[in-house]
Amino acid sequence: MNWINESSLEEFILFGFSDQPRLELPLFVGLLVSYTVTVFGNLAIMLVFQLDSKLHAPMYFFLTNLSLVDLCYITCSVPQMLVNLRSTRKVISYGGCVVQLFMFLALGATECVLLVVMSLDRFVAICRPLHYSVIMHQRFCLQLAAASWLTGFGNSVWMSVVTLQLPRCGQRVIDHFLCEVPAMLKLSCVDTTANEAELLFGSVFFHLVPLTLIFVSYAFIAQAILKIPSAEGRQKAFGTCASHLIVVSLFYGTAIPVYLQPASPHSATPRKLVSLLYGVMAPMLNPIIYTLRNKEMKEAFKRLMARVIVSQQ
């Protein structure tokens, strides 16, 4: 391919789906729609939270953080993918690749921790309802959110540095559509066993450990719900957790195959498609899941729309 030979040494070539040219146009259209929906959906959640005082509760504060993570997460990869899908030179600058690698790691790890924090909030709300306002006070919520972001970005600093310092011996073709650690390790011309072990450790720490904590939280939550005498009470309690459970299933169901399964020695296309689900579909579906399944969110959107209509009259 001529565009590989023409690329500058300061650029990486994102091979993407170049071996499947028939996929490029459908992917472009699908990604453009997904990105638009994700941006408007997550911005809407953040806007409603800010404007509707009835949503100023820990649950919606953490949801707003999740929306911000998802918005940044998809923005650090999809615009570059859209450009490359319609371009003959599928390249990214070295600086752009570094930023993309760092942000993708940071935001992914932040979301892992944030989902645990959200399960903790649901655990306190259902298992310790009389102490909820005392435990989940504003300062503690801010500390939990800050800890999620700091942990995610701290992990990214470590993983980015150990990945970028590997010698590449002139190799610049990344067999992926973004600068991701597993794909970047393949560019190295030295033994990467230690780096792969570090990646596995980080993946276990940020995927399996949080998922285990979430399962433990929901085991206690399930016990508490089953003790509620009325069916209506049980349904209401479960309803406050259902959206979070769906989001957790979607996020970890796509993340674990990407980071915890060994790379296939054959075609990398299936792994790329799973990465699309992980990096694009999950951020798009999260606001839809929360708005469709959450009665308070739907009512808040209706109040906001009513205020907009009145202001325009």
Considering only residues 184 and 110, tell me which one the structure prediction assigns the higher pLDDT: 110
User: Top-level CATH class of 2-312?
Assistant: mainly alpha
Q: Is the pLDDT of residue 148 over 90?
A: yes
Domain definitions of the chain by residue range? 2-312
Pick from 119, 271, 253: nearest CA to 186 = 271
What is the distance between the alpha carbons of residues 153 and 164, in angstroms, rounded to a whole number? 16
Q: Is the pLDDT of residue 121 over 60?
A: yes
Q: How far is CA 239 from CA 2, 8, 65, 193, in A?
A: 55, 54, 21, 45
Tokens standing for residue 268: 């990398």
Give the residue-averaged pLDDT of 273-289: 80
The pLDDT-based confidence of 7 (bands split at 50, 70, 90) is very low
Q: Is the pLDDT of residue 5 over 50?
A: no
Token pair 């435990």 in the structure block, residue: 135
pLDDT digits (tens, 9 = 90+) for 182-217: 888 888 888 888 888 888 888 888 888 898 999 999
Pick from 163, 230, 170: nearest CA to 194 = 163
Q: Is 87 in contact with 24 (CB distance < 8 Å)?
A: no
pLDDT digits (tens, 9 = 90+) for 31-64: 899 999 999 889 988 888 888 777 788 988 999 9
Which string of DSSP letters, residue by residue, matches 111-122? HHHHHHHHHHHH
* Least confident interval from 118-132, 220-234, 288-302: 288-302
* Least confident interval from 4-13, 214-223, 224-233, 241-250: 4-13
The pLDDT-based confidence of 11 (bands split at 50, 70, 90) is confident
- In whole numbers, what is the pLDDT of the chain averaged over residues? 83
Q: Is 99 in contact with 160 (CB distance < 8 Å)?
A: no
Give the residue-averaged pLDDT of 265-276: 65
CA dihedral of 162, 164, 168, 174, whole degrees rounded to 10: 120
Which string of DSSP letters, residue by residue, matches 174-208? ESSSS--HHHHHTT-SS--HHHHHHHHHHHIIIII
pLDDT given at position 6: 44
